[in-house]
Structure 1
Amino acid sequence: MMKERFEVRHIDLAAANTGAESGPALSIFWWKDLPLGTRASLQDELPYGIPQLRQLTAEYAAAQLEARSISLGAPLRATYEGWPKRALSLEAALKAEDLIESLNEFAITSSASAHDISVVICTRDRGPALADCLRSVAAQRSAPGEVIVVDNSSDGNAKDVCGQFPDVQYVHEPRAGLSRARNAGIRASRLNIVAFTDDDVEVHPGWTAEIARAFADRDVEALTGLVLPARLDTAAQRCFQFTMGGFGTTFVPLTFDRRFFEETRPSGAHVWKIGAGANMAFQRSVFERVGMFDERLGAGAAGCSEDSELWYRLLATGGACLYEPRAVVFHHHRSDWPGLKRQIRAYMKGHVAALVAQYDNFGHRGNIVRIGKQLPVYFLKTFVKALFEGPPGRLAILAAEIQGWLAGLQFLLRLGWRKRRIAMRAAAADVKGIAK
């Protein structure tokens, strides 16, 4: 499946639009503006027939009805596996007279105003990609109250790009590190909701409106959304999406709360399942309550996982995070193998560093269990499976993961690094009183 270029196709089932069938494709199914699911198909499996599209519509509608219907107990809450047990059978859904009506209701375009949202985009040496990202933010149906670009390059080379967008506030943070850049964005922001995306992302026209609707409808402190691939032209991009799982493929809303945290805490609390930093938002009160991003973590520092570590603190102290796939962004995956391997190595290194930080902050031994037991078992199982079943390139990616794990083990021994814990009160003081 990874040898051929895959076209990313968007199919609106409400319009019975199957798209052009010219080769292998990852089909992303929608009902108007409501994302429903994906399906990877080779050329001989296309085009989709009308009966097949009807069956897919019924399956997706059943999942959406169960997840979003208040009468069925929505919102669903995440379980240990990260997916709630299905309560509504497909047979029962097919008998429901209002199945399509429900889809139409769930797909209603949000009319919520994004005037209280600060959008923060951190960038480093990606001028053309940043320009594409800013164009997508400028095309929002509901314009955010402010857009802040934090330039994390040493020479401030993103300033000229930002100058092309008169409503963008430019902030230069020359100290390397994504967490430092994100914290600089928080300090520069003035509104009650702070939303983050990355410079290698283009956002859906309804992104900010869906963030606003989600916070208005749900009593949560944080939000994540759906991250879809923008292109799958290269083998590296397809490996990240199909073999490594991309940034997740869940198309129904889920609430991650204290129950999920307690169920997964013995094995390290699976907070990475909550979402991705490329599509997340927070109530400003979160930073006042639990602090900002740990500047020891993230790209430019330990590697990554500064987002999941913040979610860990939020859940550990009684908060909740909503995953709402109606808030959609499109991510440009790494296109070359060396870049992908560096990314995977950094992901694993940062993951281990975050586990160490979480253990130091809360004393939860599940974090150490994951480092010393669960990850080695995962490596062994993956090696055996890749050796006999493939896919091509999986062993090279596994090697990068193991290298990242080994690099991350250093943080267990770096006592000076471990003593530099989050200054909760100081971080909270940085943002108190900023909100309007």
Structure 2
Amino acid sequence: MTAHSLPVRHVDLSTARNDAHPGDAAAFSIFWWKDLPLGMRASLPEELPFGEAQLRQFTAEYGAEQLAARCPALGAPLRATFEGRPRQALTLPHVLGSGKLVEELDALATMPPVPAEDISVVICTRERGEALAGCLKSVVAQASAAGEIVVIDNSKHGGAEPICRRFPEIRHVHEPRPGLSVARNAGIHASRGEIIAFTDDDVELHPNWTAEIARAFSNEDIEALAGLVLPARLDTRAQRIFQLEMGGFGTTFVPLRFDRRFFEETRPHGAHVWKIGAGANMAFRRTLFERIGLFDERLGAGASGCSEDSELWYRLLAEGGTCLYEPRAVVFHHHRRELPELRRQMRSYMKGHVAALVAQYDAFGDRGNLTRIFGQLPVYFLKTFLKGLVEKQCGRPETLVSEVAGWAAGLQFLCRPGWRRQRAPRYFENGAI
């Protein structure tokens, strides 16, 4: 499945058709009901094209799961469990038997857009001009226009300004201090909206992204939101390894609530906040930053590596807050194209993950974070190695070595008392930190 380019096909099940033909190569299919994402799967050439009966079966399976997860009578949205999955089985046999599945899916998929003028979109970028241009095109094309769009240029000389000038709706802010957390904090202070939505310069947004973020915050008593991150392309081996063998940025297509109960259940094992989502698609109420502080500038790209997003979610849940995962808010991520880039990314991810676990342990004294470092992660490495051998996942040995190297590099933070005494900066209305 990882030997050749893998086309990403978008299949609208409401039409009961797809564009694959007999003899087509393997494909990665993302299933929708109009604008509602339902699921995805990779298929071998002999499994294509999907017949009408098979498409109807996909509709029944994905549709029942979607309706069950969004049914108020079942307590939707469902609460996440230890592994970030729904607690109860998502089946609705009575819906399938009633003949109302299509009508219910239509109702979900055709909700009117919600105004997004209270949303500030913040995009942090660093010397990726063409990628940024593609991202900005998708931002200004939103069905519900955001109240403002702020680009935080984290390059040394402000090189993104000429690209931002192509879009009169965009406000360019130069933040020369390196680090993604530094840039995100600059975006919080530079923006004015009650809700601050973050995305990255290597993504493209679904046209309803801002509308779905606004809908979620208007319907739910939440302080934070994470959305669905889908692959934009799977042309290269590195992209396919990341998506197919490593799971990409998640595969869940139903909404989930991550709350204090989830935190307490997973706390003895290092609360699994990374299950919530990815920093490429997240949003927060401004009042959250006023309550628990800003992004920890020791973490993230340009500092320890990553996990500044999950550390903030950790603080949120530890303080009794709730984060909603809402897959209706969709972005398309351009994964790293080349294997050296992917290996560097995975090393950085694991190094940052360990750094965040150390920071979380220092802030809250939860020994589960140390259990994660010295217990769960070594077991994960061993299981991943053995699984790669059994399932012949050709890309995993290469990326696993990078992850182990990142884990080892992250251990240094345990031995840096000055680093460990620091904390995330507090929020002040005047922008001072």
Q: 1:239 corresponds to which residue?
A: 241
- Secondary structure class of the residue paired with 2:87: coil
> Would the aligned equivalents of 1:186 and 1:431 in 2 still touch at CA under 8 Å?
no
Deviation at 1:24, TM superposition (A): 1.2
Quickly say closer, same or farther: Cα 1:431–1:104, change in 2 above 3 A: farther
Deviation at 1:420, TM superposition (A): 1.1
User: For residue 32 of structure 1, what is the amino acid of its counterpart?
Assistant: K
User: For residue 259 of structure 2, what is the amino acid of its counterpart?
Assistant: D
User: Matched residues in 2 for 1:385 and 1:113: separation?
Assistant: 47
> Would the aligned equivalents of 1:110 and 1:213 in 2 still touch at CA under 8 Å?
no
> Deviation digits for residues 153-190 of structure 1, max 9, x if unmatched?
10111010001011111011111100000000000001
Q: For 1:9-24, what aligned pairs fall within 5 Å after superposition?
A: 9-21=9-21, 22-24=24-26
> Would the aligned equivalents of 1:223 and 1:322 in 2 still touch at CA under 8 Å?
yes
The worse-fitting range, judged by mean Cα deviation, of 110-119 and 205-214 is 110-119
**Identical positions, percent:** 67
> Deviation digits for residues 295-314 of structure 1, max 9, x if unmatched?
00000000000000000000
- Secondary structure class of the residue paired with 1:241: helix
Q: How many residues align?
A: 430
Q: Which 4+ runs in 1 deviate beyond 3 A? A: 85-93, 430-433
- Secondary structure class of the residue paired with 2:325: strand
Quickly say closer, same or farther: Cα 1:56–1:86, change in 2 above 3 A: farther
> Would the aligned equivalents of 2:198 and 2:281 in 1 still touch at CA under 8 Å?
yes
1:219 equivalent among 207, 218, 221: 221
User: Matched residues in 2 for 1:69 and 1:11: separation?
Assistant: 24
Deviation at 1:387, TM superposition (A): 2.9
Q: 1:261 corresponds to which residue?
A: 263
1:302 equivalent in alignment to 2:301: no
Q: 1:58 corresponds to which residue?
A: 60
Q: 2:48 corresponds to which residue?
A: 46
Q: 1:331 corresponds to which residue?
A: 333
> Would the aligned equivalents of 2:65 and 2:91 in 1 still touch at CA under 8 Å?
no
- Secondary structure class of the residue paired with 1:409: helix
User: Matched residues in 1 for 2:68 and 2:423: separation?
Assistant: 42
The worse-fitting range, judged by mean Cα deviation, of 384-393 and 224-233 is 384-393
1:428 equivalent in alignment to 2:427: yes
> Would the aligned equivalents of 1:287 and 1:431 in 2 still touch at CA under 8 Å?
no
> Deviation digits for residues 373-431 of structure 1, max 9, x if unmatched?
110111111122223432112111110000000000000001110011224xxx12246
Q: 2:276 corresponds to which residue?
A: 274
User: Matched residues in 2 for 1:88 and 1:129: separation?
Assistant: 38
Q: 1:402 corresponds to which residue?
A: 404
> Would the aligned equivalents of 1:113 and 1:209 in 2 still touch at CA under 8 Å?
yes
Q: For 1:40-189, what aligned pairs fall within 5 Å after superposition?
A: 40-89=42-91, 91-189=93-191
Q: 1:200 corresponds to which residue?
A: 202
The worse-fitting range, judged by mean Cα deviation, of 307-316 and 72-81 is 72-81
User: For residue 398 of structure 2, what is the amino acid of its counterpart?
Assistant: A
The worse-fitting range, judged by mean Cα deviation, of 311-320 and 85-94 is 85-94
User: Matched residues in 1 for 2:366 and 2:429: separation?
Assistant: 28
Q: 1:287 corresponds to which residue?
A: 289
Deviation at 1:81, TM superposition (A): 2.3
The worse-fitting range, judged by mean Cα deviation, of 103-112 and 358-367 is 103-112
- Secondary structure class of the residue paired with 2:146: coil
- Secondary structure class of the residue paired with 1:224: strand
> Would the aligned equivalents of 2:120 and 2:147 in 1 still touch at CA under 8 Å?
yes
Quickly say closer, same or farther: Cα 1:160–1:289, change in 2 above 3 A: same
Question: TM-score, structure 2 length as denominator?
Answer: 0.97
> Would the aligned equivalents of 2:231 and 2:334 in 1 still touch at CA under 8 Å?
yes
User: For residue 169 of structure 2, what is the amino acid of its counterpart?
Assistant: D
Question: TM-score, structure 1 length as denominator?
Answer: 0.97
User: Matched residues in 2 for 1:389 and 1:186: separation?
Assistant: 45
Quote the RMSD (CA, aligned, Å). Answer: 1.3
User: Matched residues in 1 for 2:386 and 2:65: separation?
Assistant: 34
Deviation at 1:111, TM superposition (A): 2.0
User: Matched residues in 2 for 1:248 and 1:81: separation?
Assistant: 12
The worse-fitting range, judged by mean Cα deviation, of 97-106 and 30-39 is 97-106
Quickly say closer, same or farther: Cα 1:417–1:130, change in 2 above 3 A: same
Residue segments in structure 2 that go unaligned for 5+ positions in a row = none
User: Matched residues in 2 for 1:81 and 1:177: separation?
Assistant: 30
